[in-house]
Structure 1
Amino acid sequence: MDLPAITAALPALGWAVHSSVLGRRLARARRDPLTGLHTRAGWTTRAERILATCPTALVVLVDLDKFKTINDTWGHATGDAVLAATAARLSAWCGRAGIPARLGGDEFAVVTTRALDVSALTTMLQQPVPVAGTLVPVGASVGFCHRARLPLPSLTDALSAADTAMYRAKGHGRRNHHPAERNR
């Protein structure tokens, strides 16, 4: 290659490398490094799209019960193992029909394209997590909202209804699940 051609190609090569690095950084920012699930930022756009286009969509919120006690009793490495196990269980439960996310701390969300058995999810989440030869007891409160129960298919409204239902589940005793009430 001659010098003018190399000189002309260098900026394009630089931009290609820059774009590739930036793309990888953005992808990592949309994934939780501990669980591999989408973060809130990576999940929201997909969840909004599913709610807008899928009349059978379901939004689920999960909050691990007494998670601080797990960290305080067994240590943060065990807490991390519980978070990773919860993520794996959510992924297994929704399969290809949904998108799970870790919203932060010990709070998770799932949006699915069809109504799945939330009782089965609650049962999965209540199974002890094996960590270094010890079975760590885990509990979760689950709230959910069917798209059909919303006047408009808004993610904000679905999350609000699921959140209210999740706190109702906590009020009925931990390790419980509760649906959003039908809007009037």
Structure 2
Amino acid sequence: MASNTHAQARFAQCALFLTTVAVPLTGWTVHAVALHRRLAAAGRDPLTGALRRESWEPQVQRFINRYGDNALVLVRDIDHFKRFNDDYGHAVGDLVLATTAARIIQWAGSRGVVGRLGGDGGDEFIIAAWVGPGRRTVRLDQLNQALHEPVPTGDGHTVPVAVSVGAASADVIGTRDRSRLMRAADAAMYAGKHTGTVIQANIEHADAPSINGRRAGRLGTHTVARAA
């Protein structure tokens, strides 16, 4: 069972990477349709290759339990994502989502967990990656650089991309609870919104009563859940 899950994950990574890098924009729809069923069968979002909520929730918690202080939980979204659909069209917006997701999956590696928040249309992702305390700054800088690379559209043009990322770890926050670590990472992400830097969460982020005007708990068990 474990080997089958690993094989599915590697297929999704390779499929999305090859599709987003090698396929021109004009051929994106055809290839997306071809991948749809196989990615869905693997519990993944067909557009991005990231895990769906029913798959990533338990996997992120198991990852944290297994790797402890070496588990880094990140929340990431694309700044001003709506402008891609408005200025360039939905095909380019989809390509930006898929390309940035592929870059995250590649960065997280074979042990990492990458899920899409909010379902279709969502530009936020949850990531769990194996990163030791001594390498966090270096690895987060590598991720930040990769995610800010312009996205090629396949017609000789590129579109600029800016992202916001927050990261939380069990040793700093003092818990291995997935929801609390995600909340801390989410608060850190919004603390650094539009700065171009990755923010590493501290205990104050975990205790934030609200995040950018959103009530804490949005990243809990259900996408639309709110704390009482």
Question: Which category describes the TM-score, using the shorter chain as reference length?
Answer: 0.7 to 0.9
**Unaligned segments of structure 2, at least 5 residues:** 1-36, 208-228
Partner letter of residue 94 of structure 2? Answer: D
Indicate the RMSD between aligned Cα atoms, in angstroms: 2.1
- Aligned-pair distance for 1:93? 0.7
Structure 2 residue 56 is the aligned partner of structure 1 residue 43: yes
- Aligned-pair distance for 1:174? 3.8
- Aligned-pair distance for 1:146? 1.1
Match of 1:88 among 96, 102, 106: 102
Partner of 1:103: 117
Larger Rg: 1 or 2? 1
Partner of 1:123: 145
Structure 2 residue 113 is the aligned partner of structure 1 residue 113: no
Cα 1:51–1:88, aligned 2, differ >3 Å: closer, same or farther?
Answer: same
Partner letter of residue 121 of structure 1? Answer: L
Residues 127 and 137 in structure 1, CA contact (< 8 A), matched pair in contact too: yes
TM-score normalised to the size of structure 1?
0.79
Q: Deviations over 1:124-172 (max 9, x none)?
A: 10010000321111010000001212322000000000001000111xx
TM-score normalised to the size of structure 2?
0.65
Partner of 2:167: 144
- Which secondary structure does the structure 2 equivalent of 1:54 belong to? helix
- Which secondary structure does the structure 2 equivalent of 1:96 belong to? coil
Partner of 1:161: 184
Partner letter of residue 114 of structure 1? Answer: V
Aligned residues: 159
Distance 2:142 2:125 in 1: 16
Task: Give me the identity figure in percent.
Answer: 41
- Aligned-pair distance for 1:64? 0.3
**Unaligned segments of structure 1, at least 5 residues:** 1-23
Structure 2 residue 85 is the aligned partner of structure 1 residue 62: no
Which shows bigger deviation, 126-135 or 74-83?
Answer: 126-135
- Bigger relative contact order (CA 8 A; separation at least 6): 1
Partner letter of residue 59 of structure 1? Answer: V
Partner letter of residue 51 of structure 2? Answer: H
Partner of 1:30: 43
Partner letter of residue 177 of structure 1? Answer: V
- Aligned-pair distance for 1:30? 2.5
Partner of 2:93: 79
Cα 1:41–1:26, aligned 2, differ >3 Å: closer, same or farther?
Answer: farther
Partner letter of residue 127 of structure 1? Answer: E
Distance 2:40 2:87 in 1: 34
- Which secondary structure does the structure 1 equivalent of 2:41 belong to? helix
- Aligned-pair distance for 1:35? 1.0
Residues 97 and 114 in structure 1, CA contact (< 8 A), matched pair in contact too: no
